[in-house]
Chain A
Amino acid sequence: RKEVEQDPGPFNVPEGATVAFNCTYSNSASQSFFWYRQDCRKEPKLLMSVYSSGNEDGRFTAQLNRASQYISLLIRDSKLSDSATYLCVVILYRGGFKTIFGAGTRLFVKA
């Protein structure tokens, strides 16, 4: 079983739609959580951190459920420019901090 698992998608949604991605992690020693965005043939860029209380940044909302070991990303009012791959990232402590990347969920927003 992978340490961080994401639905690869693709998710195909119309402009203006609300879309949600989930990510599960297997190691309860996971300490920090992030969502990254990666455009085609580009580097990943930090989208937002994920806090236990949940956090929002404009149209993006991130949630963490430690009991069930998953994090989520909600995108409201999708824009064409939101089309990208979204990577779930977990930092866990295992004799030192280690960053684990999910394989990503692809999103296509269409006009």
Chain B
Amino acid sequence: DGGITQSPKYLFRKEGQNVTLSCEQNLNHDAMYWYRQDPGQGLRLIYYSQIVNDFQKGDIAEGYSVSREKKESFPLTVTSAQKNPTAFYLCASSSQQGDNSPLHFGNGTRLTVT
């Protein structure tokens, strides 16, 4: 079955360490996204990518970095510069950024930094 896979489901890190969250999709979607969700709040866009080797900052990109070397993969690195990294991270994809098709989400990674 086609879908979006995020790993790991839970991740624990010490403050000051960088950590990379994995996102893989086999839906043949061009566009991929990273969102962050905090308790009781809506989703906030971190980064998005329309095509391979291209990505754009979202609303809260500071302290994060991404790469898009393959169509299927869009990993997110949470760096030590991110002030409040503990959150629920959601990866999503859509058929094309340039249209108005809905997003499909992976099952998320819950990151806890202590």
Contact = CB atoms under 8 A, between A and B. Distances in A.
B68 interface: no
A97 B107 contact: no
A59 interface: no
Contacts, number: 45
A99 interface: yes
Contacts of B2: none
Contact of B42 (A42, A43, A87): A87
Interface residue range, chain B: 10 to 19
Given A102-B42, A104-B42, A45 B105 contact: yes
B104 A103 contact: no
Interface residue range, chain A: 20 to 34
B103 interface: yes
Interface in A27-84: 31-32, 34, 41-46, 49
B17 interface: no
A31 B104 CA distance: 18
Contact of B99 (A43, A89, A97, A104): A97
B81 interface: no
Given A42-B107, A93-B100, 20 more contacts: A8-B40, A32-B100, A32-B102, A34-B102, A41-B88, A42-B108, A43-B105, A43-B106, A44-B43, A45-B105, A46-B102, A89-B102, A89-B103, A91-B100, A97-B98, A97-B99, A97-B100, A99-B45, A101-B43, A103-B40
